[in-house]
Amino acid sequence: MSEGLNPVRVRFAPSPTGYLHLGGARTALYDYLLAQKSGGQFVLRIEDTDRKRFIEGAEQDLMNSLRWLGLQWDEGPDIGGPYGPYRQSERKQIYQEYGEKLVEQGNAYYCFCTPERLVKVRAEKQSKKEPPHYDRTCRNIPLEEARKRIAAGEPHVLRFKTPMEGTTTVKDLLRGEITFENKTLDDYIIIKTDGWALYHLAAAVDDHLMKITHVIRGSEWLPTAPLHSMIHRAFGWEEPVWVHLSVFLKPSGKGKMSKREAAELSKDGYSIFVKDLDGLGYLPEAMVNWTALMGWSYDDHTEFFTMQDLIEKFSLEKLNPSPAAINFTKFDYFNKLHIKALSDAELAQRLKPFFEKAGIEAPIATLELVAPILKERITTLDDAVEMARFFFVDDITYMTERFPIEGCSKTETLVIGTKVEQALNSIEVWDTDHLDTSMRALMEQEGKEPRQFFGFLREVISGQRISPPLFESMQILGKAVVLQRLRNALSFIEEKVA
């Protein structure tokens, strides 16, 4: 626990209307870091009162994605906690009670305007170039009359009675005080006709009841922040600290991230959805490091952070409200760094599923041998399959255009090949040193360049232009396999190459 930081209670409050994306992941990460750092609690609250936008399976996706990132919550719908339930759809009654309190206090009123009327009001306001707010027709209906109409079964909503004059100031941790003219605000609906509270009321009530100390969320919530503040104030509650994070811009830096842009990204092997990243070969460690730095920095040069580093170093003071462009090249960079930082055994474990998916049986023991030489060369775990498949499959596909040895005839290539076979055969200790000495000596004896000679050997053992270092690869493959491949390659040249 860091000095001077009281234990916080933070909540990540997604609506199950879609999959967890970059923006949500960053919010949840900052929540988690702050809770861990301060010895507080990270609460997961599912804001599912908007039943129309509910997507089956989204809650499960959110939880899976958070867990994959390593952001385990302390209280939540699945594990419970002292302030549950943590799904807003299970708290309908609570919001109704608090809505009723606002009515009694004179901070809210029942509105009986029909949807048709509201559409007309909005259209009229728009034609006069005024904000499309409700015209407050029901604001002055005496409460008793309103209650009678409700008892008679008349459909109604509950609206917050926003002051019509003066200002409301919200204090945001990153932006300071933001003052809103009350006349620019609406009498927002807080409970709908069907009795479901809208997010604004539900969130304010829950933040209070769940003793949330800091509300960290995207800056798209800034325009309705005054309403949240007003609800807290109407009840006389202490407001949480408001922290509205920077917006994410498209990779080009021009404009906000859109759905179309997100679809474009998938063509390049990227995704803004956390659920896709595992399959694309990204490490959760890299995602955490990358997103942590989109809106926060420690100093002007440190880039590599593990979760533990972040817990130690994270601070709200270093959050930056300026928009951050999503830079996937940087994501690749962090993925490389975190792949390099894995132990060979760990990397082998993480690579295994990628080979399985490609239908390649890759024993862990071999993967562990291959891990150190792949580490320096792959950007995503997925890259390993193409680069290292020749370690696990025997049917190497040779291509006629890659033979004979550059600058040599077919006959000369076959002669050199046979000499390679003899030299390899006579190596007793099959390791990189001995392979290096023997092959270099033969190359010199034949008067060939490394490009020609080693390029040939690389083709023979892997059928690939690009592969991990030659002698390490040969050592891992073993003498018998290498000799077999050489014989296969020589017959291929003999039969197929002109």
Q: Cα-flanking dihedrals φ and ψ of residue 188, to 5°?
A: -65, 145
With beta carbons less than 8 A apart as the criterion, state whether 24 and 230 touch: no
Nearer to ligand GLU, 168 or 335 (CB): 168
Looking at the Cβ atoms of 13 and 283, the one nearer to ligand GLU is 13
Our finding on whether 77 is near ligand GLU (CB under 6 A) is no
Q: Are 294 and 326 in contact (CB under 8 A)?
A: yes
Number of helices and strands (H, E) in the chain? Answer: 20, 11
Site for ligand GLU in 47-76 (CB under 6 A): 47
Query: Is residue 203 at the binding interface for ligand GLU, with CB under 6 A as the rule?
Result: yes
The answer to whether 347 and 247 are in contact (CB under 8 A) is no
DSSP 125-137: HHHTT-------G
**Alpha-carbon span 284 to 480, nearest angstrom:** 39
Q: Rule CB under 6 A: say whether 13 interacts with ligand GLU.
A: yes
Per CB under 6 A, the segment of 10-18, 279-287, 298-306, 469-477 that binds ligand GLU is: 10-18
How many of the chain's residues bind ligand GLU (CB under 6 A)? 9
Min dist CB 247 to ligand GLU, Å, is 13
If one asks whether residue 435 binds ligand GLU (CB under 6 A), the answer comes out as: no
What's the rounded Cα separation, in Å, for the pair 127 and 110?
A: 27
In the bound complex, what is the minimum distance in angstroms from residue 83's beta carbon to ligand GLU? 16
Minimum CB separation of residue 207 from ligand GLU in Å reads 8
| Residue 117 host element (H or E) | helix 115-127
The minimum distance between CB 46 and ligand GLU, in angstroms, equals 9
Question: In which residue are the tokens 């409050």 written?
Answer: 13
- The residue type found at 136 is R
Residue number, 87 or 217, with CB nearest to ligand GLU: 217
Q: State how far the alpha carbon of 253 is from the alpha carbons of 248, 289, 327, in Å.
A: 9, 20, 9
Residue closer to ligand GLU (CB basis): 215 or 342? 215
Regarding 26 and contact with ligand GLU (CB under 6 A), the answer is no
**Residue 32 touching ligand GLU (CB under 6 A):** no
Q: Is 436 exposed, middle or buried (0-12, 13-18, 19+ CB in 10 A)?
A: middle
Binding of residue 15 to ligand GLU (CB under 6 A): yes
Considering the candidates 52, 128, 254, 259, report the single residue annotated as catalytic.
Answer: 259
Question: Least CB distance from residue 215 to ligand GLU, whole Å?
Answer: 6
Residue 165 has a CB neighbour count (10 Å cut-off) of 7
**Which residue, 245 or 384, is less far from ligand GLU as judged by CB?**
245
Nearest to 30 by CA among 331, 309, 311: 311
Q: For the window 141-180, what string marks contact with ligand GLU as x by the rule CB under 6 A?
A: ----------------------------------------
Nearest distance in Å: CB 27, ligand GLU = 7
Q: Least distance from C-beta 303 to ligand GLU, angstroms?
A: 28
Should residue 20 be labelled a site residue for ligand GLU when binding is judged by CB under 6 A? no
Minimum distance from CB of 319 to ligand GLU (Å)? Answer: 15
Task: Encode burial over 124-139: b for 16+ CB neighbours within 10 A, e otherwise.
Answer: eeeeeeeeebbbbebe
What residues pair up with 177 in beta bridges, in sequence order?
171
Nearer to ligand GLU, 273 or 398 (CB): 273
Q: State which residue, 26 or 217, has the beta carbon closest to ligand GLU.
A: 217
Examine residue 463 and tell whether it contacts ligand GLU (CB under 6 A): no
Q: Does 95 contact ligand GLU by CB under 6 A?
A: no
b/e for 247-264, b at 16 or more Cβ within 10 A?
bbbbbeeeeebeeebbee
Unique residue bearing structure tokens 């503040």: 229
The verdict on 87 binding ligand GLU (CB under 6 A) reads no
Q: Exactly one of 217, 389, 448, 485 binds ligand GLU (CB under 6 A); which one? A: 217
Strand partners, 214: 10, 241
Neighbours of 421 (CB within 10 A): 15
DSSP, collapsed to helix, strand or coil, labels residue 296 as strand
- Of 215 and 384, CB closest to ligand GLU: 215
Q: Which residue among 83, 221, 333, 392 contacts ligand GLU (CB under 6 A)?
A: 221
In the sheet that 157-160 helps form, which strands lie side by side, from edge to edge?
108-111, 157-160, 189-191
Closest CA to 243 of 176, 169, 158, 145: 176
What is the 8-class DSSP label of residue 240? Answer: P
- Does residue number 10 form part of the binding site for ligand GLU (CB under 6 A)? no
- In the bound state with ligand GLU, the residue whose beta carbon lies nearer, of 224 and 438, is 224
At 473, list the tokens: 């690869």
Kindly state the tokens that stand for 455.
């390029």
Fill in the amino acid letter for 405. Answer: I
Asked if 206 is part of the footprint of ligand GLU (rule: CB under 6 A), the reply reads: no
Active site residue 211: no
Give least dist CB 89 to ligand GLU, A.
Answer: 12
Q: Applying CB under 6 A, which part among 9-17, 122-130, 389-397, 440-448 lies near ligand GLU?
A: 9-17
Residues carrying an active site annotation: 259
Where along the sequence are the contacts to ligand GLU (CB under 6 A)? 13-15, 47, 199, 203, 215, 217, 221
